Structure 1
Amino acid sequence: MLKRISVRGYIIIAVGVVALIAAGLYFFNVVQVTPTTQTKKGVQLTQNAKGQYQTVIKDGRYLVSAARGITATSETNTLDVKNFESSLLDLSKSHFKTGRYIFQEGQYLSADKVSSLLARQGKDHSDGLNPEDNGKTDNSRAPIYVQTLTEQDFMTKEGDQLKLSGMVVGVAMNSQDAYQKEQYGSTYYQSISKEDRIAYGKKIAPKLLKEIRAQKGVGDNVPIVLAMYENAPGDSLAPGSFYSQATSRKGDDLSAWSDISEEAVVLPKESTSSSSLGNDENNGFTNFKTDIANFFPNIAGATAVAHYKSDKLSSMNVTVTTQFYSQTEIDSFTNYVAASALKFLPNSVPIRIVVQTANEMQAILVRNSDDKNFTVTML
């Protein structure tokens, strides 16, 4: 049951937030949707919130990706599942402006095509982006470099129709490849160096571009951005990040690769960390963690993932795990967490806080960069 919570004033629990929780998005962007019915035919658009894309509704239903679910089932770190797609959408906004373009889930690379692209090269998968198996079972084996990819389409209106006017394809590259020497056997891990990962991504990019342009409806004149993402190891507490991009304006031409400066830092930082990135946020988060632990006796842990772009904090995701024995405990603690977060956590970036037990989520607190208070949803 949803409740209203008062945190430094009256807070409205946004219905849009609940919908986005159900969708499993890594961060929250509340979007107002134009009312439609499932019997309505043709293409409709959502009404976009400021800074967000309009999206496509077809015959009264949201138009889902043609390769829906592949990223979720292929990524080994659940944090990468969320961060890969949401970060790609943020990157897309620098190429295709939200006020001009309409976002459409990828429709040109089918599930079968994406699966074939992710396969090893061979007689059954001549389009495979991963190297042919060399038969080795040690560190001399040919690893799986390309773990998954996702397509985002950007449309413009042409009369009553939508025209494909741009495309962004994210390619998730492994920094570590998990494999088995025999079916149902032990899992082994093969590290992939930064140099090998970057070089292999550049090597397969022209082949991937050719395959994308060969899909019906894409052609030679649609601008295509290829964005390379480094997956985090499976046991990492922080997701990976995008590290490079190149653009094809026409045909098989591909611009020089440009670096993308993104990084995720886990807080509290380990004392052995040599990087100064996140030191200021680490101090504030440590004070926040101490403050809520002093208020409530059963805190099992509190961690945060701070996201940086060009060494500047862009967002923070916090997880607080504890044990509750009554609804009043949940209500009181969540109120206190919101007040403490306003006091100790950064006030200039979006922050999402999840309060949970070991078994279930209890509350979600969200504050956008221009908000003065947290929006709280009790679950």
Structure 2
Amino acid sequence: MKKIIVYLMCILLLFSGCAPNEKEDEVVKKDEKSSKKTSTIVPSYQLSKDDYRMVLPFRPSKARGVIVNQVANRLDIDEVENGLRRHSKEVFDPDKYYYEEGQYLTEEMVYNWLGRTLTKDQLKKEVKEQKENLEEAGKEVDEEKIKKDLQQGLNPSIEDDSDKNAHQDNPKYLSHIVEQNYLKKKEDNSVKLAGISIGLSMKSVYRYQTETGGPYYYEDISKEEMEKQGNKIAERVLKRLRKIDGLENVPIMISLYREAKQGSPVPGNFVAKTTVPEGENSIGKWKSIKEEYVLFPSDRAKEAYYDDAEIVSSFGKDIAEYFPNYVGVIGEGLYVDKELRKLSIEIPIEFNGESEIVGFTQYTFGLIKEMFPDYYDLEVKITSSDQIESVIYRESGKKEPIVHIFH
């Protein structure tokens, strides 16, 4: 890891010394709802035409950290955020919009929304307890506000938490809510919120307990039921967003993400999305998203994408013939409408010296050029122990791969 960091620092120093300076980062004013405008830097350069420029200084999401406690699979944690940004590009063009992490949904708000709706008896009990606490503290009691604050959960209510059948009939569907903000520069050189994207991370498997310290039970949630519940939740989320100061009129893209099982070696995927025009308070049509991540090697890869599975298998066999220390190829493919868009491969191998790393990378480079079609992005990481030794990357449509050896 240290070698990678040093390498990247060198590259940055090289770019800072050699890059043309006719373009400078823009200092603009961020147009907040208050009368004050804060200075913000908008980088002049994009890493690529497909990447968003991010306003600086960087402000982390107001709900930062919630996702780690709510989503079980680490791969889902990355994909629900990265995938939402990828799908947002169809609505918010990276050439015209700047990106910032969510600034409207707070940690407390998200946790409240992820809870269950209370039954009438539960609500009555909770209101009574809060009223008594406020009265004892000599504070003003607003019963309607207390009710509203308590009844924020978007997951279905359950009368008896120890009833297994109740859990099966009313699973928690919603795991997390991701917010991303998209800004535009105005004529007065300020940047203002111009749209937001919301990702609703939905469970494919509901895990629950009927008693503290007891065994965990698991309830599968079908894709159809997940989407049905997700549509209902999205309507409620939209109405709440429109009541937030600053979000009354902006376009809002909402996407449904279906999580993978807890131990899955690949992440889940987005299944549907919709865009609500500025000022609108209801959702129109949903657009189906047909994408999936596939593990190589796997039965799913052989059954659904046989030709690609054979290429990855042959690639591994050719490497095994040349290098005795090779232990196997692990691949992950992103398919959109059943067409491979990106293939990531990791080759773990033990090396005895730097020259062996260079030789192995050269040999792998040749195999890539010979074996893999160029209509999708391809990334091959060659690793040793817990570090990356080299990376070979080829962008879709390019003939020649790019190689980085970290030493």
Distance, in Å, in 2 between the alignment partners of 1:229 and 1:208 is 15
Deviation (angstroms), 1:95: 0.8
User: Structure 1 residues 272 and 317, CA, compared in 2 at 3 Å: closer, same or farther?
Assistant: closer
List per-residue Cα deviations over 1:16-67 (Å, max 9, x = no partner).
999xxxxxxxxxxxxx99499xxxx710112223232221103xxx232222
Q: 1:84 aligns with which of 80, 94, 98?
A: 80
| 1:52 and 2:81 matched | no
Partner of 2:269: 241
Q: Is the 8 A contact 1:119 1:125 kept in 2?
A: no
For 2:333, what is the secondary structure of its paired residue? strand
Q: Give the residue type in structure 2 aligned to 1:87.
A: G
Partner of 2:152: 127
| 1:206 and 2:202 matched | no
Distance, in Å, in 2 between the alignment partners of 1:185 and 1:234 is 19
Q: Within 5 Å, which residues of 2 pair with 1:252-263?
A: 252-263=281-292
List per-residue Cα deviations over 1:67-113 (Å, max 9, x = no partner).
22323443212221222222211111111112221112111111221
User: Structure 1 residues 154 and 193, CA, compared in 2 at 3 Å: closer, same or farther?
Assistant: same
Q: Give the residue type in structure 2 aligned to 1:53.
A: Y
Q: Is the 8 A contact 1:67 1:110 kept in 2?
A: yes
Give the root-mean-square deviation of aligned CA atoms.
Answer: 2.8
Q: Is the 8 A contact 2:26 2:42 kept in 1?
A: no
User: Structure 1 residues 363 and 147, CA, compared in 2 at 3 Å: closer, same or farther?
Assistant: farther
| 1:117 and 2:113 matched | yes
Distance, in Å, in 1 between the alignment partners of 2:271 and 2:72 is 19
Q: Within 5 Å, which residues of 2 pair with 1:70-109?
A: 70-109=66-105
| 1:369 and 2:396 matched | yes
For 1:291, what is the secondary structure of its paired residue? helix
Distance, in Å, in 2 between the alignment partners of 1:324 and 1:210 is 57
User: Structure 1 residues 108 and 176, CA, compared in 2 at 3 Å: closer, same or farther?
Assistant: same
Partner of 1:151: 179
Q: Give the residue type in structure 2 aligned to 1:78.
A: R
| 1:162 and 2:187 matched | no
User: Structure 1 residues 266 and 157, CA, compared in 2 at 3 Å: closer, same or farther?
Assistant: same
Deviation (angstroms), 1:202: 1.0
Q: Give the residue type in structure 1 aligned to 2:228.
A: A
| 1:346 and 2:384 matched | no
Q: Give the residue type in structure 2 aligned to 1:167.
A: I
Question: Percent of pairs identical after alignment?
Answer: 27
Q: Is the 8 A contact 1:229 1:243 kept in 2?
A: yes
Deviation (angstroms), 1:192: 0.6
User: More helix by proportion, 1 or 2?
Assistant: 2
User: Structure 1 residues 120 and 299, CA, compared in 2 at 3 Å: closer, same or farther?
Assistant: farther
Q: Is the 8 A contact 1:146 1:173 kept in 2?
A: yes
Partner of 2:217: 188
| 1:287 and 2:287 matched | no
Higher alpha-carbon deviation: 333-342 or 166-175: 333-342
Distance, in Å, in 1 between the alignment partners of 2:254 and 2:383 is 37
Deviation (angstroms), 1:357: 4.3
Deviation (angstroms), 1:241: 1.0
Q: Is the 8 A contact 2:73 2:262 kept in 1?
A: yes
Higher alpha-carbon deviation: 150-159 or 323-332: 323-332
Partner of 1:300: 327
| 1:223 and 2:223 matched | no
| Unaligned 5+ runs, structure 2 | 13-22, 28-37, 124-148
Q: Is the 8 A contact 2:238 2:282 kept in 1?
A: no
Deviation (angstroms), 1:360: 4.3
Q: Give the residue type in structure 2 aligned to 1:142.
A: N
Distance, in Å, in 1 between the alignment partners of 2:291 and 2:199 is 15
Distance, in Å, in 2 between the alignment partners of 1:98 and 1:104 is 12
Q: Is the 8 A contact 1:281 1:346 kept in 2?
A: no
Q: Give the residue type in structure 1 aligned to 2:351.
A: F
Q: Is the 8 A contact 1:109 1:215 kept in 2?
A: no
Partner of 2:62: 66
For 1:57, what is the secondary structure of its paired residue? coil
Q: Is the 8 A contact 1:14 1:375 kept in 2?
A: no
List per-residue Cα deviations over 1:304-332 (Å, max 9, x = no partner).
11111122211111122233344443343
Q: Computing the radius of gyration over CA atoms, which structure comes out larger, 1 or 2?
A: 2
Q: Is the 8 A contact 1:301 1:320 kept in 2?
A: yes
Q: Give the residue type in structure 1 aligned to 2:50.
A: G
Partner of 1:21: none
Task: Output the TM-score relative to the length of structure 2.
Answer: 0.77
For 2:359, what is the secondary structure of its paired residue? helix
Task: Output the TM-score relative to the length of structure 1.
Answer: 0.82
Distance, in Å, in 2 between the alignment partners of 1:267 and 1:126 is 45
User: Structure 1 residues 345 and 263, CA, compared in 2 at 3 Å: closer, same or farther?
Assistant: same
| Unaligned 5+ runs, structure 1 | 4-12, 19-31
- How many residue pairs align between the two structures? 347
Q: Is the 8 A contact 1:267 1:305 kept in 2?
A: yes
Distance, in Å, in 1 between the alignment partners of 2:361 and 2:350 is 13
Distance, in Å, in 2 between the alignment partners of 1:131 and 1:377 is 52
